[in-house]
Chain A
Amino acid sequence: MLLSDRVTGVGVATLGAFAVYGGLQQPGVPGQDVGPSVFPTVIGLGLLLCGALVALGVGRGFEAPAEAAGAEGPNTVHPSPPRFGELRALLPPVLLVFYVLAVDRLGFLLTAGLIALALSLALGARPRLALPIAVLAPPFIHIVFNGLLRVPLPEGLLAAPW
């Protein structure tokens, strides 16, 4: 478990409070009681209640145990997860943000190649595997999406030869 129930429960309740506040700020519809504020307010109240219940530990008995003891087969060696697991997990979304920032300037082929290379190396691939992936995957995707499906992909520094 990444964060304790108490922390996430308080988070959910805070979200609910914001939803109620935001909902009540909505302008009404003239001549009518029911407007755009009803739905967010109701949801916000629900979130407040759920958050409080989670923080108090209600419903914990229903959660399936994360990994039941003895669930692993006798022959499987359980390898230890890589170090800095939680931080490493943030690499994919960071790479997506990089894509948004760079794709117009560098172009699709270069950006996608860099992303593939970075992710592949981070997953423990040797350059012998990572380089071909970085070189072959972007043109393949380019052919399917730009060639067949006509999605406009930016050319940037390196235009596709087809």
Chain B
Amino acid sequence: MKDILEGFALVAQFDVLLAILASAVYGLVVGSLPGLSATMATALLVPVTFYLSPIAAVATIITASAMAIFSGDIPGCLLRIPGTPASAAYTDEAYAMTRKGQAELALGTGLWFSALGGIAGTLSLVVMAPLLAELALNFSSFEYFWLAALGLMCATLVARSSPVKAIASMLGGLLVSCVGMENPAGAPRFVFGITDLLGGIEPLPALVGVFAVSEVMRAMAAAEPPPLPRRRFGPIMAGQWELTKRYQKPMWRGNVVGIIIGVLPGAGADMAAWVSYAMSKRFSKEPEKFGTGHPEGLVEAGASNNASLASGWVPSLLFGVPGDTITAIAIGVLYMKGLNPGPTLFTERASSMYALYIIFALANIIMIPLGIVMIRLAAGVLRAPRAAVMPVVLLLCAIGSYATGNNLFSVLLVAGFGVLGYGMERCGYPVAALVLGIVMGSMFEQTFVTSLIKSDGSILPFFERPVSAVLAAITLGALLWPLGVWAWRRFARSSGSRKARQLVG
């Protein structure tokens, strides 16, 4: 109880509340701009967190990411351009509702069920994390190795691209993390005589380059999106209560699926939205209405992506294994602020943990009033021409990466990673897998080499402990999954053509 009160006291400070409010507005605006994703919003925020108190720093990340995931729905609904990848799953549905004249209902649904999903995810974090912390106290380097491997494999499954290319991206990220002196022998590795590389490549310049600079590059190469027609909105929350009562089951299913996907290391809000939308259609009583402007899928997927956001913090806080790209950034901030992830966080810094839960709840509650204001202002924000937004983003990329170490070399790294990210995306290599490889590389190598030293170079002990055997099985399953899908498709196609031939015969 004392810890809970201390948690409240930590949040109730002026700088923390101000940070929550400011990052909420920032997240809403950036998330709503097409092309500027929630991950990018969070990455550009990191340099600012350097200068905040630990709780305020974590609060900005939590609030900005939650707001950005919701407000990504706004341009999806009004312009048919998803503001964040997590909204892409149901953009067509939301836009179809707008064309039917139900823009208010679609946006309100996004807002209301995002907030409900976020709160459900927060509850799951509160309940699950301490239970898993007990379990995690017994983990050895073998379990951590498999957790990291599972996170990396999941990241390649989420990508919706060729699994081979996704794995290549992920390995590329791991290779980047090899650069520098932080390795088992402390030897300078892959530094090519450049002093600035001795300290290794920080994840932040890579993130900013891959997510932000490459977006500016894409804007240069693509035509300006169509301007938003002016419109006045009616009441936004009208009818949400009826929807909640009517679609109770899809809502809960969305929450639960989102929570489960969030907890899986490596899989985040994007995947939660896609899976939930597909499930909603599969289990709906009226699947024929999907795609024509039917709110059911919106309810389920909108709840799901926000629920996954909170539960994505479970593996991050407990094991230091990010649940998605946003928590990958958050882990860096946690380390920087002395809140090192791990099970002891829950025993020794309990009040900080309660503060974190309170911030999650608070962010999802203020999302509703701020979201309504944002929807009303959206017409203005979305009319901001690219030529005004992109220069500011590019300047923030330069200054943000410079601020992390007062080192101009990181600006060059940002430029390099921008080119790399742009090129990779154009050739069909998913960049999220690259980023997770970079973020998790040093942990992965450390647990891998420690385990190998313990086992005297033998592979068998990797599978001997019960938890590590289960994690290993899931990881290998994720590796073989695409093969199974391919075989199934082959089988279905050949049996289908045989049937067709029989019919003709």
**Distance A130 CA – B185 CA, assembled complex (angstroms):** 52
* B386, CB-defined interface residue at 8 Å: yes
Q: List 27 A-B contacts (CB under 8 A).
A: A27-B187, A34-B453, A38-B448, A54-B164, A58-B162, A61-B489, A62-B160, A62-B162, A62-B482, A62-B486, A77-B226, A80-B223, A82-B223, A92-B213, A96-B394, A96-B398, A96-B415, A112-B395, A120-B387, A121-B387, A123-B387, A133-B387, A133-B388, A134-B391, A137-B392, A138-B395, A145-B399
State whether A85 and B178 are in contact (beta carbons under 8 Å apart), knowing that A103-B408, A152-B406 are contacts in the complex. Answer: no
**Which one, A3, A88, A112, A145, contacts B427 given CB within 8 A?**
A3
Interface residues of A, Cβ cutoff 8 Å to B? 1-3, 5, 8, 12, 15-16, 19, 22, 26-29, 32-36, 38-40, 43-44, 46-47, 50-51, 53-54, 58-64, 73, 76-77, 79-82, 85-86, 88-97, 99-100, 103-104, 112, 115-117, 119-125, 129-130, 133-134, 137-138, 141, 145, 148-153
Contact of A54 among B162, B178, B426 (CB under 8 A): B162
- 8 Å CB contacts to A: which residues of B329-388? 385-388
Q: How close is A50's CB to chain B, nearest CB, in angstroms?
A: 4
Give the complex CA separation of A85 and B219 in angstroms: 10
CA distance in complex: A52, B95 (Å): 41
Name the residue among B50, B174, B482, B486 with the largest chain A CB count within 10 angstroms.
B174
Beta-carbon contact of B220 and A91 below 8 Å: yes
Q: CA–CA, A130 to B8, complex, Å?
A: 46
- Total of A-B residue pairs, C-beta within 8 Å: 237
Q: Which residues of B line the A interface, CB within 8 A?
A: 47-48, 50-51, 80, 95, 99, 160-165, 167-168, 171-172, 174-175, 178, 183-185, 187, 189-190, 213, 216-224, 226, 385-388, 390-392, 394-399, 402-403, 406, 408, 411-412, 414-416, 418-419, 422-423, 426-429, 445, 448-449, 452-453, 456-457, 482, 485-486, 489
Q: Is the CB of B427 within 8 A of A2?
A: yes
Q: Which of A63, A92, A130 has the most CB of B within 10 A?
A: A92
Question: Closest chain A residue to B396 by CB distance?
Answer: A141
Residues on the A chain within 8 Å of B161, using CB: 62-64
Who on chain B is nearest to A97 by CB?
B415
Contact, CB under 8 Å: A85 / B220:
yes
* B410 to chain A: closest residue by CB: A100
